[in-house]
Structures are given as structure tokens and as C-alpha cells.
Chains A and B, each alone.
Chain A
Amino acid sequence: LAKTTQPISMDSYEGQEVNITCSHNNIATNDYITWYQQFPSQGPRFIIQGYKTKVTNEVASLFIPADRKSSTLSLPRVSLSDTAVYYCLVPYNQGGKLIFGQGTELSVKP
């Protein structure tokens, strides 16, 4: 049964690169890793998903080492609007159940 562990909070300044690492020791062989962003009073929003190595889209990159026991979300040159809670998500079991952890509260300062 897979669980995730992330830092509770992180601080950064505008223009910096931010890396948030998530541990998922029991991830199953075929499972993807998905990251979400949540602003106050809104539902979580999909950022990026990956299986191995590196995935990049217009907002973020996702780095996954060969053992897949962790993943790192990289946000280049953050702005104040990136202040949010970030969750990594892996399937809890093979039945499709998806469980969110505590998330990482990112605070971007001017």
C-alpha cells in the first residue's frame, strides 16, 4: 500500500527555482506519480504526471530517479501566484483508490 511523505512547508522568493520532493517507498511497478496544486477555496488542479526519468511541461518539471521511491517537482522562477499547497499522489492500491497526503505549503515572498 503506497503512502506519500512531503515537507509540510517551504519558503521561497520570487524568481527562484523551487524543488519539492515527495517520498513514495511502496509505489507499485506500473503506477504513475501525479502532482497537484491547490489554492484556498478551490479544488486541487493537475500540474504534471510522470512514470520515470524526467517530464516537463509549460509550468513544471518532474524528476523521478530509477528506483522510483521518490519524485521531485521543480517550479522554475516562481512568482507570488505560485503560493499554494502542492500534493504528490500515487495510487494507494491496485483498486484505483487515490489518497492525498498533507501536502507542501509553498510560500513565495517578494
Chain B
Amino acid sequence: GAGVSQTPSNKVTEKGKYVELRCDPISGHTALYWYRQSLGQGPEFLIYFQGTGAADDSGLPNDRFFAVRPEGSVSTLKIQRTERGDSAVYLCASSFGTGELFFGEGSRLTVL
């Protein structure tokens, strides 16, 4: 597709379960960002990839959160032992590195 694709668009899970969120960036974009957004708040930075490597993962809240981008394209955000406080919209964006980010529609995670 032409834009950033995120799946699933909605995910409902139970506390303690494992969740994976996928991001398919725009072809050729080397930079990929993950953000988390709660209602009424701005997007909160989680992690930034340049190519296959995580250039900055300082926003990951704890070791339950992990993200990979093994081939420099698709990225997966993994959340272990989910908690109710993890409920949010998870946004992915890609870029050529110029500061213009192209966002997906987000994955809404609800932890019951």
C-alpha cells in the first residue's frame, strides 16, 4: 500500500497476556518510530529504528516492552504480561529521516 499499515487496528486482551502489534512502513523509509497515545495526551515516544537497529529505545516504559525490525522494514512491538495501564493507541510512523513522519492509523489496545 501507499501508506503506513498497522495491524491489528483493535486488540482486546486480558491482563497478563502477550501481545504483538505490527507496523508495515512506507517502502524505502529507513526510519521507523513507535509512539503510544492515551486519551487527551500527545503521542509518547517509545522507540526509534534507523534501519534494522534501535537507535533510541529510551521511551520503552519497562522490560515488558520490546520491539524488533529484523529486515529494516516491518516492525513488531511486543508487550509481555500486559497490564491495564498498557491500554492505549499504539502509533507507528516512518520517515526518510527528514523530520516528516508518516503515521499509520494506530492499533488500539485494550487490556481488561
Contact = CB atoms under 8 A, between A and B. Distances in A.
Nearest to A91: B99
B97 interface: yes
Contacts of B102: 46
Main secondary structure of the interface of A (DSSP, over half): loop
Nearest to A97: B56
B45 A89 contact: no
Contacts, number: 66
Interface stretch (A10-18, A60-68, A71-79, A99-107): A99-107
A83 to B, nearest CB: 15
Contacts of A85: 42
A98 B99 contact: yes
Interface residues of A, number: 25
Nearest to B33: A98
A103 B48 CA distance: 21
B100 A100 contact: no
Contacts of A99: 45
A95 B55 contact: yes
Contacts of A49: 98-100
The 6 closest A-B pairs by CB, nearest first: A43-B103, A100-B42, A100-B43, A97-B56, A32-B99, A34-B99
Interface of A: 31-32, 34, 36, 41-46, 49, 85, 87, 89, 91-92, 95-103
